[in-house]
């Protein structure tokens, strides 16, 4: 991927080149790829469809988790949290040994992989909040240490 250097900062598309700004600076890339109809129907792209299905499922599950914790995450997540959470959700789904590839899901996967996930990589909760989680029967109790 090309990075723009110079005083002219471009955003948008010129011909087959798209210019955009990211956290890392101004980037330029060429349009390309395979026709969507071919990916959807060609037997050679079966694995691609399976991977896309699982990736989409990971993204939707991550979004559900983020919406559930929305009030807690408003001022505490970093700019790359969504991609890190989706990456972790993909690993959870890939750990599903019950369903066939392309049909795997979080419920049958290994949700334990989410343990210790930091919603802000620069301000880790464990370094900020000292607490112990104890399970007593069917309920969880959190003890905050000072």
Q: Could you read off the pLDDT of 49-74 as tens digits, one per residue?
A: 999 999 999 999 999 999 998 888 88
Q: Residue 55 is part of which domain span?
A: 44-144
How many domains is the chain partitioned into structurally?
Answer: 2
In our burial notation (b when 16+ CB lie closer than 10 A, e otherwise), range 79-113 reads eebeebbbebbbebbbebeeeeeeebebeebeeeb
Kindly state whether residues 98 and 65 are assigned to the same domain: yes
**Among 105, 112, 146, 106, which Cα is nearest to 129's?**
146
Q: Which residue has the higher pLDDT, 130 or 115?
A: 115
For residue 127, being part of any structural domain is answered with yes
The answer on pLDDT for 79 being more than 70 is: yes
**For residue 91, is it within any domain?**
yes
pLDDT of residue 88: 96
Question: Where residue 132 falls among pLDDT bands split at 50, 70, 90?
Answer: low
For residue 39, being part of any structural domain is answered with: no
- The answer to whether position 37 is within a domain reads no
């Amino acid at each position: 991927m090309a990075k723009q250097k110079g005083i002219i900062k471009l955003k948008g598309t010129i011909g087959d080149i798209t210019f955009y700004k990211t956290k890392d600076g101004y980037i330029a890339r060429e349009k390309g790829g395979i026709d969507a109809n071919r990916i959807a129907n060609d037997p050679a792209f079966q694995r691609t469809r399976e991977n896309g299905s699982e990736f989409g499922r990971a993204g939707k599950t991550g979004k559900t988790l983020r919406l559930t914790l929305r009030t807690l995450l408003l001022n505490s997540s970093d700019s790359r949290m969504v991609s890190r959470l989706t990456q972790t959700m993909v690993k959870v789904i890939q750990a599903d040994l019950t369903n066939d590839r392309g049909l795997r899901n979080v419920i049958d996967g290994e949700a334990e992989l989410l343990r210790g996930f930091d919603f802000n990589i620069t301000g880790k909760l464990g370094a900020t909040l000292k607490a112990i989680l104890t399970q007593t029967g069917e309920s969880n109790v959190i003890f905050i240490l000072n």
